[in-house]
Each structure stands twice: as C-alpha cells, then as structure tokens.
C-alpha cells in the first residue's frame, strides 16, 4: 500500500508535472484550493501535504496559503506540510515554518530534490506516529507505576492529575492493598512540590505516646529521654508533601493538632512554646469507614471535612474489570525475570482461579501470591496450586456471589491462621492484608481468634 500525499496547487500544469513524477512512490491526491484541500485531508488523512502558498481567490498573495496551513495543522496536528513558494519568497517560507510547516521548497520545482524532502517528511511523520501510539499505550496501561486499563482505575488516574497541581488536602480511601500509597506518591510527583520531600508516616504503626513527637517534633527536655531537640515529620515535609497513612487511627488529641495545622499552617513541637509555620501539603489515607468512626465519636467531623476536600476512592481489585489478568501477567513476567525463572504464563485453571478469587488483599495479595508462585513453580506455567488457590470452588458454586465470597474468605483466613498457629500478624502478612483489616474480617465473618 502506497503512502498518501496531498498536493495543493492551483497551477494545473505544475500539479500534473508533480503528480506524474511522484505517482510511482505515492498515492497522489490533488486539490486546487483551500476548501478542497481540507476536505481531502479529512477524508483521506494523508501524512504529508505539499502546499502552494499562492492559492485562489488570491493567487498572487500568500494569505490563503497561510490560512490553509493553520487550518490543516489544527485539523491534523501530526500532518507534515511542505510549503512551496515562488522564487525570492524565502521569508514567506520561513514564516510558514514558524507557523508549523515542516519544510519548504522554492519553485521551479526540482523533482529529485523534492523527492528527498518528501521522503524525509514521511519518515519523520512515521516516527512521530509510532511514538505517539507507544505513549498512548503506556499511558493507558501504566501511570506512575500503576497498572490498569479498567474504567474504574482510569478514573483514579484522571483524578490524580486533576488534584495534583492544586494545594488542597486529599483523602485517599480504599481497602487494604488497593494502592493508596502509590496514589499519594503519584500526586506528589505530579505536583509542583515534586522536587521537595515526600514524607510518609503510618499513624497506626507508632505507639500513640511517640506519635506526637514523631509528627510534630520536640524540644530538648520535653520529656524523659528527650536529650536533644528534634524536628518532626511536618517540618521534614517543609515545601513538600506529608502523607498520613491510616489516618483513622489518629488519637483525638492529635486530631486537634492536625486540624490546627490544616487551618493555620502552624504546628508546635512537644514542649515548645512558639508556633512554627510549616508549608506542607497533607495527603491522608485510610481503609476505615470514617463516616462510621465519626458516628461513633472516634473521628472529628470538622477534621474529616478539612482533610477530605477532595476524596479519591480506590476500587477493589475485584471491581476492576479485566485488570486482574493484566496485573497478574505483568507481575509474573517481572518476578520471573528478577528470579531468573523460566516461567512463561498461567495454566487455564490458574487463569480461572485468578479471575474468580475475590482478592480480599487486593493488589498486595496478588503480588505476594504471584511472587511465591514464580519461585515455587516447577513447570513453565503457574498452576492454581503454585498460587495456593487450589481450594474446592465447586463447594461455593450456585450460592450467590456474596455468600460464596464470604465462604472463601472465611476458609482462607482459617487456613492462614491455622498455618501460623493463630499468629495474627503472620497470617495477615500471608493474606496480604493489614492487621486491622484482618481483625475486621474475622469479626465480620465470625472467626474466633483462639483458633
């Protein structure tokens, strides 16, 4: 199939001469004026156009030609326009380049030279198109290290881009392992603060007594053991972003201090007397239902509204249509490469298991299972047993999705607990959920800790 070339030329003898000389290499379309040129551009979508600047109704001037140039580029931004001008009109040609033409050529036309110019124009156009396609593919599947083509996750990507450039706090909510921390990093990296620190603190991982000084710092002698003055995470995040993970675990006293910061951009070190102005953007995440916590009086409503000016809700893996296989396959290849294992894919049964399993621990659980499967696999294809997803599905068939899912979750949690002799931390790790999440699940499913 020949490449398409549009020749815009009102002098029919020149047009015929060009067509005759170039027809061997290209599929040629001719237009005599601006409207027909635009029409052909829209219909045939040639990648390259030669454009005579002197077109009717003003063949002696260049304004019609320039108008055609602008309109063609706005209609097809990747089209390569080679401008053809009369002799001694080089300044028009240069002006045209300034307006987006790809190259120029002066009459009388030397066909051999023109062929070289056109050849190169087609080549550049091809490269640009390939590059754009590649970029579209990349941006479609991966965004800041996050994979996913489902509409659910694509919406998250677009929210990230929307909020990144603003200064408002963002509350990121979603089940365990859905990617909340990745979202926070993506917001930071797409913001004007990207060159400044991104500081993370997990509010549930630090005992309450230490958390205050961890967050706000302390003065020398503020409490026993405070031998030196120390800056807290807020001050470390100066000019940057502070990510408060598991915000639902914050104690009432610290909620007040955080609220004050959000209202006044000021903090006080523990044992300190003066307020310190801090310029940090706050992002917070939780897998708890904060509305419920507010009802129970555990979380301040005013803080909730301050933090959640914008809320980004992450979809669970089971809600993300089609993404689980994309993620599973990408991760399988990544880990196979890292571990130098010759694992090439999944068996049909494994694919079925991946698609039906409810993934309570979301992407983190998927990562853990695939990592382990790649290491354990003895065949080239990963089996359900390698993924430890070889439990009796048939038992749950025909029971309705919710019941089947809960049955499976219960069975899996009991299995993990038994295997780890009731050690919640280890069981949670194995299941790819956080400890609080596992507690919640156990409570919901009526599983006793003593098992």
Q: Residue 219 phi/psi, 5° resolution? A: -90, 160
Q: Which is nearer to ligand ATP, 174 or 240 (CB)?
A: 174
Paired strand residues for 8 = 31, 51
Stretch touching Mg ion by CB under 5 A, among 7-15, 155-163, 174-182, 190-198? 174-182
Structure tokens at 414: 């009991």
In contact, 72 and 49? CB cutoff 8 Å: yes
CB of 203 to Mg ion, least distance (A): 11
CB of 284 to ligand ATP, least distance (A): 12
Q: Determine the Cα–Cα distance for residues 35 and 59; give it in Å rounded to an integer.
A: 14
Stretch touching Mg ion by CB under 5 A, among 20-28, 108-116, 181-189, 226-234? 181-189
CB atoms within 10 A of CB 204: 17
Q: Which is nearer to ligand ATP, 76 or 319 (CB)?
A: 319
Give how far Cα 213 sits from Cα of 65, 227, 248, 334, 424, Å: 69, 13, 18, 40, 29
Cis peptide before 57 (omega within 30 of 0): yes
Q: Which is nearer to ligand ATP, 68 or 431 (CB)?
A: 431
CB of 184 to Mg ion, least distance (A): 9
Which residue number is nearest to Mg ion in terms of Cβ?
A: 181
Q: Determine the Cα–Cα distance for residues 283 and 420; give it in Å rounded to an integer.
A: 35
In contact, 447 and 413? CB cutoff 8 Å: yes
Question: In 47-151, at which residue ranges do the beta strands (DSSP E only) sit?
Answer: 48-52, 80-85, 103-106, 142-143, 146-147
CB of 368 to Mg ion, least distance (A): 14
Q: Which is nearer to Mg ion, 176 or 356 (CB)?
A: 176
**Which 8-state DSSP code applies to residue 270?**
B
- Residue 248 interacting partner from ligand ATP, Mg ion, none (CB closer than 5 to 8 Å by kind): none
Residue 181 binds Mg ion (CB under 5 A): yes
CB of 287 to ligand ATP, least distance (A): 5
- Residue 363 interacting partner from ligand ATP, Mg ion, none (CB closer than 5 to 8 Å by kind): ligand ATP
- Residue 182 interacting partner from Mg ion, ligand ATP, none (CB closer than 5 to 8 Å by kind): ligand ATP
Place of tokens 């045209």: 96
Q: Determine the Cα–Cα distance for residues 300 and 186; give it in Å rounded to an integer.
A: 27
- Residue 54 interacting partner from ligand ATP, Mg ion, none (CB closer than 5 to 8 Å by kind): none
Q: Residue 264 phi/psi, 5° resolution? A: -120, -5
Residue 200 binds Mg ion (CB under 5 A): no
Structure tokens at 170: 């963002």
CB of 292 to ligand ATP, least distance (A): 17
Which residue number is nearest to ligand ATP in terms of Cβ?
A: 179
Residue 435 binds Mg ion (CB under 5 A): no
CB of 176 to ligand ATP, least distance (A): 4
CB of 302 to ligand ATP, least distance (A): 25
**Which 8-state DSSP code applies to residue 312?**
E
**Which 8-state DSSP code applies to residue 2?**
P
Q: Determine the Cα–Cα distance for residues 374 and 335; give it in Å rounded to an integer.
A: 7
- Residue 287 interacting partner from Mg ion, ligand ATP, none (CB closer than 5 to 8 Å by kind): ligand ATP
Place of tokens 């104690």: 251
Q: Which residue ranges make up the site for ligand ATP (CB under 6 A)?
A: 146-148, 174, 176-182, 287, 327, 363-364, 367, 434
Q: Which is nearer to Mg ion, 48 or 173 (CB)?
A: 173
Which residues of this chain interact with Mg ion, rule CB under 5 A?
180-181
């Amino acid at each position: 199939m020949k490449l398409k070339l549009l020749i815009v030329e009102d002098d029919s003898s020149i047009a015929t001469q060009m067509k005759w000389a170039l027809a061997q290499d290209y599929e040629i379309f001719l237009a005599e004026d601006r409207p027909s040129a635009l029409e052909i551009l829209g219909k045939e979508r040639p990648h390259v156009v030669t454009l005579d600047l002197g077109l009717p109704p003003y063949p002696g001037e260049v304004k019609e030609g320039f108008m055609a140039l602008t309109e063609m580029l706005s209609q097809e931004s990747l089209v390569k326009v080679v401008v053809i001008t009369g002799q001694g009109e080089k300044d028009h040609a240069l002006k045209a380049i300034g307006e987006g033409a790809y190259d120029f050529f002066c009459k009388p036309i030397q066909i051999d030279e023109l062929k070289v110019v056109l050849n190169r124009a087609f080549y550049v156009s091809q490269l640009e198109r390939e590059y754009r396609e590649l970029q579209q593919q990349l941006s479609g599947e991966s965004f800041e290290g996050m994979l996913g083509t489902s509409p659910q996750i694509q919406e998250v990507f677009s929210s990230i881009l929307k909020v990144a450039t603003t200064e408002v706090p963002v509350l990121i909510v979603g089940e365990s392992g859905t990617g909340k921390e990745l979202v926070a990093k993506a917001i930071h990296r797409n913001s004007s603060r990207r060159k400044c620190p991104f500081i993370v603190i997990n509010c549930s991982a630090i005992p309450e007594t230490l958390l205050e000084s961890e967050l706000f710092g302390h003065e020398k002698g503020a409490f026993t053991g405070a031998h030196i003055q120390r800056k807290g995470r807020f001050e470390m995040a100066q000019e940057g972003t502070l990510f408060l993970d598991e915000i639902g675990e914050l104690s009432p006293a610290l909620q007040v201090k955080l609220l004050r910061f959000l209202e006044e951009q000021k903090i006080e070190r523990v044992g300190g007397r003066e307020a310190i102005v801090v310029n940090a953007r706050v992002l917070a995440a939780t897998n708890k239902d904060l509305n419920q916590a507010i009802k129970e009086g555990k979380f301040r409503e005013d803080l909730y509204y301050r933090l959640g000016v914008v809320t980004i809700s992450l979809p669970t893996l089971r809600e993300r249509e089609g993404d689980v296989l994309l993620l599973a396959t990408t991760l399988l290849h990544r880990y196979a490469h890292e571990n130098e294992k010759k694992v090439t894919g999944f068996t049909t049964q494994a694919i079925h298991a991946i698609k039906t399993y409810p993934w309570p621990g979301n992407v983190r659980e998927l990562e853990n299972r695939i990592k382990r499967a790649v290491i354990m696999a003895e065949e080239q294809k990963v089996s359900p047993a390698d993924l430890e997803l070889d439990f009796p599905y048939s038992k749950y068939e025909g029971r309705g999705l919710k019941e089947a899912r809960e049955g499976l979750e219960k069975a899996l949690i009991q299995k993990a607990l038994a295997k780890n002799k009731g050690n919640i931390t280890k069981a949670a790790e194995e299941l790819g959920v956080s400890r609080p999440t596992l507690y919640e699940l156990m409570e919901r499913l009526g599983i006793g800790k003593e098992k």
